[in-house]
A and B are shown apart, each in its own frame.
Chain A
Amino acid sequence: MVTTTIEAVLFAAAKPIKIRELQKHLGLSQEVVREALDALAIRLNTSDSGTHLIEMNDAVQLVSNPELGEDVAKFLRVEATGPLTRPSLETLTIIAYRGPITKPEIEIIRGVNCSLIIRNLLIRGFVLEEQDTQKLQPVYMLTHEFLQALGIKHLRDLPEYDTFQANEKITELLSRELQVIREI
């Protein structure tokens, strides 16, 4: 029953909804909502279903089945977007595998200033900026729109997601280089 309620809410809301908002407004515990979302994903995320459930940044959203992308695009008269430039693609990859991530961290990995690219990605709606109160600076993550463009349900559907996300060498490099920046 909770599963159906959440489905109805997500359908009506259309936008990505934070999981803790669902808890708050439906008066449910984190465990119950989690269980219901998992059940909903199992029910919806199949070839037979027109709507699918995607989840990222602790928010869930109902979207159309990616397999039907071409037909839906035709109906909505959405034109195919141009290819991504290499700098955009690299930056998006870093944000996808390592987000939420700060700008200095992205720049350490790419070895170059990324202000312009990040601004362009923000304008195109591919990335999202949030304030990290601990790091005292903005952190970047992918938007649900970009996840939709990739046609996947979670970031963990990306190839080798876990390897990159928890890569100790990257973590070590970032902390070492950030230390250098702070010392200057």
Chain B
Amino acid sequence: MSFEVKLEKFDGPLHVLLELIQSAELPITEVSLSQVTEDYLHYIDEHDVPTSELADFLVIATRLLLIKSQAILPAPPDEQQEDASTLALQLRLYQEFVEASKHIEDLFNRSERSFERAQPDVVRPEGVEVPVGLDANILHDSFQWILRRLEPFFRLQEATLERVVSVQERLREIHEAILSKARLTFAHFAGAGRSRVDVVVSFLALLELVKQRIVHVIQADTFHDIEIKRVD
């Protein structure tokens, strides 16, 4: 019981982000998002984010890192900045709803409220009541309907899980590979045939390994391949 209450009271990732930006008195822009990235990551480290919400926190963290990397690294001219503007837009809209929720809260907390007429006590007839027109086909149709509804649910679950698991997995892959080979290149992990998400995930995993001082990286020039070496 207390576990559920605690879960519901936990601030969502966008709320944390909004508070960080507001406490720094910044407008919601791509620039301010990249400025608070460190603080946001720090927040995840410091707080015991419930497992059920960790995925959502990490998704936002990944998007922030992407925005930050776009701000630091020179981007090829055709590279889209779509994700950055989407997150800023999303946060601005979220802020508007937070504002609007104050109206709802005021209305809910004041004593002015209506009541509906209490339902009269109904005496239930003895025996089982079978709804009129019930037949086996209705049950069959209902079940079909439920199955159809479940499909998108499973698709979504898998997709979210995939997104979250992958950074961790890639981290391990690179780590294991570097242990056995001592020298690797980034193209080996994010080379031809990999999706954009894949490249981003590999890059994030690589950054994390650099941060942990497990590997160090050398890049000869902008857009050249990155050489990964084990720190011995």
Contacts and interface: CB of A to CB of B under 8 A. Distances in A.
Interface of A: 11, 14-15, 52, 54, 61-67, 69-70, 72-73, 76, 78, 83-90, 92-94, 96-97, 104, 108-113, 116-117, 120, 131, 136-138, 144-145, 147-152, 158-160, 164, 167, 169-170, 173, 176-177, 181, 184
B105 interface: yes
Given A87-B8, A109-B93, A110-B14, 19 more contacts: A14-B118, A62-B116, A64-B115, A64-B116, A69-B111, A83-B108, A87-B9, A87-B11, A87-B12, A92-B101, A108-B90, A109-B94, A110-B94, A111-B14, A112-B13, A144-B116, A149-B113, A151-B113, A181-B156
Interface string B127-161: 00000000000000000010011001000100100
8 contacts: A63-B115, A72-B115, A89-B105, A109-B90, A111-B12, A112-B13, A158-B107, A184-B163
A116 B163 CA distance: 21
A101 to B, nearest CB: 12
Chain B: interface secondary structure?
A: helix
B1 to A, nearest CB: 12
Contacts of B108: 83-84, 89, 149-150
Contacts of B112: 66-67, 69, 151
B38 interface: no
B15 interface: yes
Interface of B: 4, 7-15, 52-53, 55-56, 60, 86, 89-90, 93-94, 96-98, 100-101, 103-105, 107-120, 145, 148-149, 152, 156, 159, 162-163
Given A85-B9, A113-B56, A14 B117 contact: yes
Contact of A86 (B13, B15, B149): B15
Contacts of A148: 113-116
Contacts, number: 156
A80 to B, nearest CB: 8
A89 B100 CA distance: 10
A113 B90 contact: no
A30 B15 CA distance: 44
B22 to A, nearest CB: 15
Contacts of A145: 116
**Most chain A Cβ neighbours within 10 Å, of B98, B116, B163:** B116
B119 A93 contact: no
B97 A109 contact: yes
A65 B159 CA distance: 49
B9 A113 contact: no
Contacts of A116: 4, 7-8, 52
Given A78-B115, A111-B94, A93 B9 contact: no
B15 A151 contact: no
A168 to B, nearest CB: 11
Contacts of A113: 52-53, 55-56
Contacts of A150: 104, 107-108, 113
Which of B55, B98, B104, B152 has the most CB atoms of chain A within a 10 A radius of its CB? B104
Contact of A170 (B53, B93, B98, B105): B93
Contacts of A147: 114
A73 B101 CA distance: 25
Nearest to A133: B145
B114 A65 contact: yes
A149 B8 CA distance: 21
